[in-house]
């Protein structure tokens, strides 16, 4: 039954990656803006949770919405002041600006919190294991998968059923046409960007118990997130979901069965997918 456990762990890890990468996928699809600082917002969410829990003794669950809001607000600030100047700039300029912001965030986090791993004490009902048909599932991973599935469902419904969702889809499909129809693409983008960063912040908070939190988070997870986004295809929730599950399961199963390969396997998967379909599994461009 070990294989079920490994698959489940991989899927839970994939859900974490999905939360972290969703926002980047949509902003890339909509504005073609390469935001390498995305995981800096995720890291912010993580540190918000750690601070609230360890200094103010908030319960873990209560910190999650705050992590979401904090990351969303911070991202709006950056979007309004810095990012919007570069929407029409080259890839290189966008990459450099956002790598610069990531460098700054890493140093700032190290200044405030030091380079050590941040401890987090989960509430008792999230610790331990739940046994279902003879297989032990970690309670926390079940919780993580549950949250992610609910969020995915909400996102899909919001995109498919609401007016805002229709506008987002229009802007991703053809930005100029959407503008021509009178859709306020900049406004839609600002909201989407904030939501996406907020989700990353939430992901950062949820990630602490699984991968830990230290200042290098903004870089180590950036690579995973970029892999998910480019494998899944830009601007597609379904694509990100599939890619995140694929990468999560590959990574966990690879580390379990062939540990000597290390992270080799997911890089290979990414390169193979990109060679086969440069726009990603579900990308149209």
- Residues at the contact surface with another protein, assessed by CB under 8 A: 28, 34, 82, 85-86, 89, 91-93, 95-97, 99-108, 110-111, 115, 219, 223, 226-227, 230, 234, 260-264, 267-268, 270-271, 274-275, 278-279
Cα separation, 36 vs 213, in Å, equals 18
Least separation, in Å, of the C-beta of 94 and another protein? 8
Which residue number, 69 or 84, has a Cβ lying nearer to another protein?
84
Least separation, in Å, of the C-beta of 29 and another protein? 10
CB 190 within 8 A of CB 76: yes
Output the DSSP codes for 230-263: HHH-TT-HHHHHHHHHHHHHHHHHHHHH-GGGTT
Which residue number, 127 or 285, has a Cβ lying nearer to another protein?
285
CB 215 within 8 A of CB 39: no
Least separation, in Å, of the C-beta of 107 and another protein? 3
Cα separation, 162 vs 138, in Å, equals 35
Least separation, in Å, of the C-beta of 115 and another protein? 7
Least separation, in Å, of the C-beta of 18 and another protein? 18
Question: Facing residues of 131 across strands?
Answer: 136
CB 267 within 8 A of CB 217: no
Helix (H) or strand (E) holding 163: helix 163-173
Which residue number, 234 or 237, has a Cβ lying nearer to another protein?
234
Structure tokens at 244: 């995140």
Which residue number, 161 or 285, has a Cβ lying nearer to another protein?
285
Which residue number, 90 or 174, has a Cβ lying nearer to another protein?
90
């Amino acid at each position: 039954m070990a294989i079920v456990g490994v698959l489940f762990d991989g899927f839970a890890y994939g859900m974490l990656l999905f939360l972290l990468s969703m926002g980047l996928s949509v902003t890339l699809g909509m504005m073609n803006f390469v935001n390498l600082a995305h995981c800096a917002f995720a890291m912010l969410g993580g540190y918000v949770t750690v601070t609230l829990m360890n200094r103010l003794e908030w319960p873990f669950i209560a910190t999650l919405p705050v992590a979401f809001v904090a990351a969303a607000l911070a991202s709006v600030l950056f979007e309004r002041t810095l990012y919007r100047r570069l929407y029409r700039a080259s890839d290189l300029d966008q990459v450099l600006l956002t790598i610069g912001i990531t460098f700054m965030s890493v140093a700032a986090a190290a200044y405030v919190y030091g380079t050590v791993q941040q401890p987090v004490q989960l509430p008792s009902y999230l610790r331990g294991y739940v046994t279902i048909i003879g297989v032990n599932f970690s309670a926390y991973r079940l919780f993580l998968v549950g949250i992610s599935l609910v969020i995915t469902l909400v996102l899909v419904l919001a995109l498919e059923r609401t007016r805002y969702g229709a506008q987002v889809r229009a802007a991703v499909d053809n930005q100029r046409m959407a503008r021509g129809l009178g859709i306020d693409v900049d406004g839609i983008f600002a909201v989407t960007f904030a939501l996406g960063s907020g989700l990353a912040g939430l992901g950062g908070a949820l990630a602490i118990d699984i991968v830990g939190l230290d200042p290098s988070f903004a870089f180590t997870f950036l690579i995973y997130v970029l892999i998910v986004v480019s494998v899944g295809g830009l601007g597609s929730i379904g694509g990100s979901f599939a890619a995140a599950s694929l990468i999560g399961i590959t990574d966990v199963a690879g580390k379990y069965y062939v540990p000597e390969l290390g992270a080799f396997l997911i890089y290979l998967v990414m390169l193979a997918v990109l060679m086969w379909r440069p726009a990603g599994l579900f990308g149209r461009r």
